[in-house]
Every structure is written in structure tokens, then in C-alpha cells.
Structure 1
Amino acid sequence: MKLSKHLLSCSLISILLLGCGAEKKEITVKTNSEIVLDQSVIKINEALKALKTTDSFPRHIVKGEKDWRLVGVRDWCSGFWPGILWYTYEYTGDAEVKTAAEKYTASIKTIAYTEAEDHDIGFQVYCSFGNGYRLTGNEAYKDIMLAAADTLATLYNPIVGSIHSWPSKQEYPHNTIVDNMMNLELLFWAAKNGGNKKLYDIALSHAEVTMNNLVRPDSAVYHLGSFDNKTGQFIRGVTHQGYADESMWARGQTWGIYGFAVAYRESGRTDFLETSIKLTEHYLKRLPKDGVPYWDFDDPAIPNAPKDASAAAVAACGLLELAELVKDNKLQDKYRQEAKRFITALSSKNYLSGDANNALLLHSTGHHPKGREIDEPIIYADYYFMEALLRLEKLENSNHLALIK
């Protein structure tokens, strides 16, 4: 396997042994994140070989099975597998993986040019084409992303001031879910890269409405906010994937942490930063000892409730993002150390899949109330785990290089 220049330059750490007449010796050392990345690359290539088509995408693995169950391009999870392949290419420089990433990414193009069904356009397109454009500069990818941003923006209701996240849920005239915070990055990106400047305003307004209505006084978040689509008035907050309306659904909290951090990065709005910090501190305060949350912090079945490794992976990415944004050195160090703790926990034998199946991580929970994807490998857990590992690997190697200069 061909290694990228980045890997070759960053995985060699020079340790100089100095003494009376001693020669300088160079010892090759790999960081823990590189070791886990190497293992993950092997697993991803094994999964890739087991897949036969490029227009169906891994979603989850049923207990006792080895291979991924597949979904079509319209599924909200379709963008995560090509995103994982792009992350693998970023780390290895493997031309075959790049080719596979291009093929799976191409299948998602249709999302950008068909009527918007829900907010998940960001997950589908930004994770696939976004990573592809970042790594290759392919101008065709840029055009598709700009079209996808325009399509996502058609769901914006100016009376409410937010995107209609789930139009299919007729019981709520206009709904905005916390997951939607993650899809604003596509709009922010498009506004800066040739798209309509109104896309920035839409993203900003959506984040503000979410902050003012879905973030509760206890610093947890509602999964869904219901609004009157004619007056814009907030009606109530509810859950769909959490234990109860007022409970703390783990993955929803991490969507908020990461999403508001990105909203601050793109807008400079300090209230978004403060919101991300507030959600983070509440999350950290309630975590179990191993750093991987139960699917909902208020499930009365705890400690016998299922965990959600995907929430821990999203949290790791969110905290590494947040650490780059806060000015306080103590907070920077705290959030980096907590993110590293989550990644270390997920990298243990308790959560890595090993030989069990073709996924990277075990023990994620998708939709507990409906009994779907409970305590199973789920593709977005692997996606954010790869993102977190790459972020940590770059951070660790930049620190090592600084020490030896």
C-alpha cells in the first residue's frame, strides 16, 4: 500500500540519544492514533472487497453477521461510507481507495439535483463530495456541492427562521431537529465558495432558532422543536429517538456540541461558542466512567441500558473542534484530553469490532424507541471515529514535530 507524504513525514519521530561519544540514532515510533488507524484501514479494505456495487451503501451490521446491511442513495446515511473511504485515502494515499471513493461519491450526485426530502442533504453530500473536494480540488465536486446547498435551502421557512428538517412528519407543522445543526456547514461553505450569500443568512438564522428554542435551561437539548409554520411561534420540544421529551438523548447532545462549535467557527457569534461550551460541560458532567455514554442519559435501565459509541465518536470530533476555537488554554487542554479519552475508550477491545465483523466499532444505538439498530455497528459511528482519529493523529504529530525542531 502506497503511503502518503503526510504519513511518511509524520510517522517518523526522531529520538536523539546523546552521550559521551554516542552516535545519534533514529527510532521509528508510531502514535497510538496511527496504530489504530492502521488497523482501521485493514478493516475498511476488507469491507470494501465484500461490497459488489457502488450505488448501495453500508448502514449497519446485525448481531451475529459479518457484512454490512446496505441502503440506497436516498437513505440519510449514504454519504458516510464514501466519507470513510476519503478519510482512508487521506491517511494512506492509496490510489485504489481513492478510485472507490470516487465511484461511491458519484452515486450521490442525484441528491443535489432532486427535490429536497429532508435536512440530511448535508450528511449525504458534505461527507462525500465535501471530503472529496477538500482532498482533490475537483471542480465538478464543487459545482455539485453548491447545487446541494441550494436544494437544502428550499426547506427554509423564513417565518420560523429555520429549515424544515422532516417535512414527512405531518404531526408537526414545522419541525427543526438538533441533528440539523450538522448540516449547516454545507450552507456556510457554499456561501463562501461562490454560492448565494443568503445561504449564510439561512444557516445563521437556523442556528439561532435552534439555540433559542431547542437548548433547554438544564443545558440539554430537545431532539425536535415544533413550530407554528404560519406565525413562527415555538410550540413545544419533543423527542423521537430519545427516552422521553425531557430526557438527554446522547447523540442529540453531541450533534449540538459539534454543530454549535462549527456555527461559531463560521460566524464568529460568541453566543454559539458559549452554547457549545454549555452543552459540552453538561455532557461531560453526566458521562459514565468509561467516557462512552448510554444511548440516553436518563434511561431508567442504566446501567443495563445499551451504550452509543456513535455519540462518543461525534463528541470526540466536537471537542477537538471546540479546542481549536476556545481562547482559554485550560479549556483547550481539557477538551483535547477529554476527546483523547473518548478515542482511547473506543479504541479498546470493549468497542473495536476485531474479527467479529467488517465494521470498526461495536455498541452503537440508532433508534431505541422503535427497536432499530440497538447495540450494533452503525456506519456513522465509524465515520466520526475515523474523523476523530485523523484529527488526533495530526495533532499528536504536530506536537511531536514541534518538540524535535
Structure 2
Amino acid sequence: MKKLFKNLCIAGSLLLSACQQDHMVGQKDDLITKLDHALERGEVQYHHMKNLLPETRFPKTYHASEDRLETSGSGWWCSGFYPGSLLYLYDQNGDEALLSEAERIMEVLEKEKYNTTTHDLGFMMFCSFGNALEIAPKEAYRDILVQSAQSLSTRFDETTGVIKSWDSKEGDYLVIIDNMMNLELLFWATQETGDSTYYNIAITHADNTIKNHFREDYSSYHVVNYNPKTGTVNQKRTAQGYSDDSAWARGQAWGLYGYIVMYRFTNDQKYLDQAVNIAEFVLNHPNMPDDKIPYWDFDAPNIPDALRDSSAGAILASALLELSQYVGQEKSDRYISDAESMLASLASSEYLAEPNTNGGFLLKHGVGHIPENTEVDTPLTYGDYYFIEAIKRYKALK
């Protein structure tokens, strides 16, 4: 009788395990369906957006109260995200009209390859021409990207050991955590040309950012002000977060993504360790909501009523999916699970725009710059870009 009972227990346990696995598979199938729906919505939205855009302008955000699409010129740091999103959508859905629009607007963007006044040429040129080189290559794209890397390199200074972010008054040398996202262009340039100068600049910048931007808990400051004559740090502060000592959500996402890219190109364990430590800070933060879409700042004073930032959630989801491929199974499963939660939230009606609304943007509820009261609870072009990228990465994994 005991043996029969034991066998029944084993059989029941196996059945329960099988049911649980079936349930998990079902949940993942449901998420894939939602994400496919989000991509279809993206196709509708970006057709709507291209019809709203003036010929030489780029989407920046949308003001619902005025039903107004705000645009920028090609020199704005976000100009690469529109063609990048179009290319990602084309890659997933095969819509030739979106590819044609991406190629059209990249002709407007191309001149920025000579722009030496910005640190954001990675965002501007690699999210556009870099993706185009992979998805719908043309011979000219290589030279455009090499020139862009040369222009970006002019902002590196040997004394400070970092790439300058914002030009400012004499005596300041301002560097923001966002700058980590522009190093991928430099790594690509070394791979393409064999010139190690670009690689060495990226390494030096990343190492000094680890040294000077991060706190003991692996949260980061937004802005570090270096002394341009000595390379020492004059000040650590924030511009877009709640306070100098707070953890601005999108800043944490930029740092995480940036050090994952560093590991991808170098296989240096210290960069993987840095990325894992940032991920653990973010995911284990007591103010991380259950749906994994972070408040605009982890230390915002009015949590749980503080605004969420869908763009930070999108960047984190994409970053975690890549990070899951570089770590052991336990961490990998957890990072994928958290990314799934983020994607499921972003693909819900709370964040996904209705067709032909929202100025053509896919996501709602991004937060740009609360301290200056700009782009507050609005769509953001980079939110769309990293959401579509995260979907692309998730579908490739599954």
C-alpha cells in the first residue's frame, strides 16, 4: 500500500510538473502573440507618423493636449531612432514602404557624420546606418559610419580620459552616463578598419566611468564634471533625475546597456560584473514596481504616485535579454523572466497606443526631463526604438 501511495505521489508530482510547464509555455505563447500584435501596431503607427512628419524633420515627442507632433532637425540627439525603428519594423514585418521611408530620412541624417559638437553620434548614426548595414546594406553606409566614429573621437580628451558630453563654460568638462551608449560605434569602427584608436578610446572612457560615475551600490550619477586641466573630478550630480543622490531610472538603464555592450566586444569579465551588479541594483530595488516598469527615478519623492518611464522599461528589457546570454542559468532565467514582465506591461493597453493616435508613436508614458518640465508623460522616440529592439531580441531567443 505504501508503495502504491508512493507511486501515485510520483505520478501526481510528474503530472503537476507537466501541467506547470504547459502553463509556462502557454504564458510565453501568449506573450509572443501580444508582441506580434505590438509589432503590427507599430507598423500602423509608423505609417501614420511618416504621413505627419515634415519632409526634413524627425519625430521628437507628441503633445496630446494640443494634438501636436513635436519634431527636430537632424542634429538632435534622437534623430537616429526614427530610421532605426523603421528598419527594425521592416526587418520583422517586411513592409517595403517603411524601408523606403528609413532610406529617405537617412539621406537627411547623413550630414551629421561630420558633427563634432555632440557625443551622441552613436545614437544618431549607429542606430540608423548601423542597423541599415545589417538589415538592408548599401556600400555607402560603411564610410558614413567610419566618418561618424572619427567625428565622435574628436571629443575624447587624454587628460580626463573620457569623451566630453556637453559643451559648457570654461573650466568644466561634463560627462553623462548616457555616453556609454555611444561606444558601440567606436568598437565597430575598429573591427571594420583595424584602427585600434577607436577601441582604446571606448575602453578608457568605460573604465573611467566605472571609476567615477558609480556609487558603492552600483547606482550611477547622471553627470560628472571633470577638471579639464588635471582630469580630477570636480562634481557629481544629476540633471534629469530627482536629486544628485538619487537613481534616475533611465540613467541606470543606459549604464546597464552600455556595459553589456562593453562585454560583448571585449569579453572582459569586469564589464560583465559591472553589468550584473547594475542589473541586480535595479531589479532588487524596493521601489521597482511589480510590473517592472520603473518610476522615472527610483528615489522620486511621491512613490507610488510618481510617473513611470516606459522608455526606461524598454531599454532595461532589451538590455536584460542580451545579458541573459552571458550569465549562468539561474541568473539567465531570472533576467528573461523580468524582461518578459516588462514586455508584457509595455504591450498592454496601459502603455501601447491605439491605432493612428499618439502622433504615430508606439508607446505612451515616457518621461524625458521632469526638472525642466519637458517631455513629461509623453511618447519618446527612443522608447519606441528599444521596445521594438527588445521584441526582436525576445523573438530571436524564443
Q: Which runs of 5 or more structure 2 residues have no equivalent in the other structure?
A: 1-28
Q: Distance in 2 between matches of 1:135 and 1:335?
A: 27
Name the residue aligned to 2:387: 385
Deviations 1:333-388 (A, max 9, x none): 11111111101111111111114422111111101100001001111111111111
Higher share of residues assigned helix? 2
Letter in 2 for 1:72: G
Q: Distance in 2 between matches of 1:220 and 1:175?
A: 19
1:254 maps to 2:253: yes
- CA positional deviation for 1:66: 4.4
Q: Is the 8 A contact 1:240 1:369 kept in 2?
A: yes
Q: Within 5 Å, give how 1:213-362 maps onto structure 2.
A: 213-286=212-285, 287-326=288-327, 328-355=328-355, 356-357=357-358, 358-362=360-364
Q: Is the 8 A contact 1:50 1:67 kept in 2?
A: no
Q: Is the 8 A contact 2:171 2:228 kept in 1?
A: no
Q: Is the 8 A contact 2:83 2:105 kept in 1?
A: yes
Q: Distance in 1 between matches of 2:208 and 2:36?
A: 40
- CA positional deviation for 1:71: 0.5
Q: Is the 8 A contact 1:294 1:307 kept in 2?
A: yes
Name the residue aligned to 1:140: 140
Deviations 1:132-168 (A, max 9, x none): 111123120010000000000000011111101112x
Q: Within 5 Å, give how 1:49-64 maps onto structure 2.
A: 49-53=51-55, 55-64=56-65
Deviations 1:291-336 (A, max 9, x none): 111111111122222111000000001101111222x111111111
Q: Distance in 1 between matches of 2:312 and 2:235?
A: 25
Letter in 1 for 2:362: L
Say if 1:137 and 1:69 are closer, same or farther in 2 by CA, change over 3 A. Answer: same
Name the residue aligned to 2:151: 151
Letter in 2 for 1:83: G
**Equivalenced residues, count:** 365
Q: Distance in 2 between matches of 1:270 and 1:290?
A: 31
Q: Distance in 2 between matches of 1:212 and 1:320?
A: 26
Q: Distance in 2 between matches of 1:49 and 1:108?
A: 18
- CA positional deviation for 1:195: 5.5
Letter in 1 for 2:231: G
1:181 maps to 2:180: yes
Name the residue aligned to 2:119: 119
Q: Distance in 1 between matches of 2:155 and 2:85?
A: 28
Q: Which runs of 5 or more structure 1 residues have no equivalent in the other structure?
A: 1-27, 397-405
1:37 maps to 2:39: yes
Letter in 2 for 1:379: T
| Secondary structure, counterpart of 1:259 in structure 2 | helix
- CA positional deviation for 1:194: 1.2
Deviations 1:9-55 (A, max 9, x none): xxxxxxxxxxxxxxxxxxx99643222212221222222222241x2
Q: Distance in 2 between matches of 1:338 and 1:207?
A: 26
Q: Kindly, what percent of the aligned residue pairs are identical?
A: 39
Letter in 2 for 1:211: I
Q: Is the 8 A contact 1:80 1:380 kept in 2?
A: yes
- CA positional deviation for 1:67: 5.1
Q: Distance in 1 between matches of 2:34 and 2:64?
A: 28
- The correspondence for 2:373, drawn from 363, 371, 374, is 371
Q: Is the 8 A contact 2:181 2:258 kept in 1?
A: yes
Letter in 2 for 1:143: D
Give the superposed CA RMSD: 1.6
Deviations 1:246-305 (A, max 9, x none): 100000000001000101111111111111111111101121112111111111122222
